A and B are shown apart, each in its own frame.
Chain A
């Protein structure tokens, strides 16, 4: 798929590299690791765009999940990933009842790739871009068999936070930004495909676990662990796996961006 969207990605280095290219450290990369980096960058684009559009966390999460699921079975070289991302944002807004206008998506994206530029005029280029976004939306829907509604960890995490909060002394809790940290960790998960590889409850528990761990918060001990109680089928190994995937994403930021 080519077209007007290519003008968007022209200015962006490394968005689509030629086959067998070399990365920043000069080593030859395999296709798949290069793809992973591209997906990371594109998800970063989605998250930044989401903030600039005033999108809530759940629609942004849906946009990233749509993106990851789309490229699960599709070759990245056949589709312009940034265009797919823009359409995912548009589609996610509809699914999660926070409608975003294509005009705003195009404006923010254009400025993302052409920093400090003037807004687009109401001309053919603009309308072609808009058409591309809308057509791509249909492609995404078909690729996903119209299955575009997902269960996210966010609702779970918030309820878990409230439950865990009651266990702890209120002053200790208000001093410790566990809620912010776990929410930040959860949002950051969407940079990688890990967000679709783990169950939403597991992701919620793991982010809360890591947040508590980071501040050394000690919870009371009972016959059962707090995380075992919140979700019966989660194991220590599951939590460790999620945390491990998430920490890898932070490492990747240093390499990609």
Chain B
């Protein structure tokens, strides 16, 4: 009995066949000799079946496909290829002529791009001998004797020439879009209109191309075919793109797999089991806030004991650990205000309020500081600006008596500074401004 063939069959069908064989072939000494070998084979296929059965809920889950596949980009034209573009695999596998022809007719679609050489020109169009696919599919087709017709209607007019066909010669390399495939009659028609190409391949120009513009996988397959020692792996290693340090990341994106929420068949590593709070960035943020608060508390203690320099150092340290930490900003702002650096104080309070608009102390201190600033501006005769600050201060803390007082006084001052006539003008101006 053919051991290998039998092994293949048992592996394919599994234990049920093996058991049946054992029953039926008990008298056969050849079979008995192979039983232990076959036992292993059926066991292996049982193992795989068991694996598939156990993990079926993950394997066949619709959300298993994590990201949509990026549409194929025609990056092969770039000088530096981001990954190794390999000749089509069926070349190395030596798949039969008939099979490859059948595969092509099965898989070629409207909108794909093919490359061919003109072998015949008639008055109604030209014929191409297809050399290679160039977008949509990647196949080895030169020896399949495929011919495609490009009808004269499918050639864009070149302006000055009356006959668009005169622009083309036998032997020209042409890149064209597939317009129609008749699978039964095995006829392919192509077009040179850019609109005939599918959307993802739109940017590829159709028409005459130079030998250098032939697809990379095609030229590589030519050199591989001519030299039988050129097998897959040596070619792979020789490709410049293989040694791109970011090739893994690039190809993962191409293939559509996420590396940040990676797939796994282990029960314990399923993405839904991971919680946001356990991730490094979340813990770090919480930790930074905590460390910063410790510094702020130390700083406040220094401040209460009059050690202003040490207090400022602690606040700055806190802000280094946790930028825009609210408590640190408010504490530092208060220290600035205390020292008389009004503008710096205002800036810190404003920043604190950006992330925590309802922070009580921030609002209270900013209100007080704005009133002080307003008073400074009043002395510089910048009455209107000062008034704006008082209004803002009151909006932050409407119970602040100083702010209320200051606002009333300045409104009076502004009004009193003008004569009757000017007052009228000013009132109009003021009401327009307030609209």
Contacts and interface: CB of A to CB of B under 8 A. Distances in A.
Interface of A: 44, 47-48, 51-54, 56-58, 97, 103-104, 107-108, 111-112, 118-122, 154-155, 158-159, 161-164, 166-167, 169-170, 174, 177, 179-181, 183-185, 187-188, 191, 201, 210, 213-215, 220-226, 229-232, 240, 243-244, 247, 250, 253, 257
Interface of B: 44, 47-48, 51-52, 54-55, 59, 64-66, 69, 83-84, 86, 88-90, 92-96, 99-100, 103, 106-107, 109, 136-139, 231-233, 236, 242, 245, 247-249, 251-252, 254-257, 259-269, 274, 278-281, 283-284, 286-287, 290-291, 294
Contact of A250 (B54, B248, B260): B54
A183 B86 contact: no
A185 B265 contact: yes
22 contacts: A47-B264, A53-B280, A58-B248, A97-B245, A119-B290, A121-B294, A158-B83, A158-B247, A158-B255, A159-B242, A162-B83, A166-B138, A170-B107, A170-B109, A174-B69, A181-B263, A187-B263, A214-B48, A214-B51, A244-B47, A250-B265, A257-B268
Contact of B287 (A53, A119, A185, A253): A119
Nearest to A117: B283
A210 B48 contact: yes
Given A180-B257, A188-B266, A162 B233 contact: no
Nearest to B286: A119
A107 B65 contact: no
Contacts of A57: 248, 252, 259, 262
B234 to A, nearest CB: 9
A107 B248 contact: no
Contacts of B233: 201, 230-232
A179 B255 contact: yes
Contacts of A174: 69
A163 B86 contact: yes
Nearest to A97: B245
A104 B107 contact: no
A159 B251 contact: yes
A141 B276 CA distance: 33
A187 B262 contact: yes
A166 B88 contact: yes
A199 to B, nearest CB: 11
Given A162-B254, A179-B257, A220-B103, 19 more contacts: A47-B269, A51-B269, A54-B280, A108-B280, A121-B290, A159-B86, A161-B251, A162-B251, A166-B138, A177-B64, A191-B266, A215-B59, A222-B96, A222-B99, A225-B93, A229-B92, A247-B47, A250-B265, A250-B266
A85 B68 CA distance: 34
Contacts of A222: 90, 93-96, 99
B139 A166 contact: yes
A165 to B, nearest CB: 8
A180 B283 contact: no
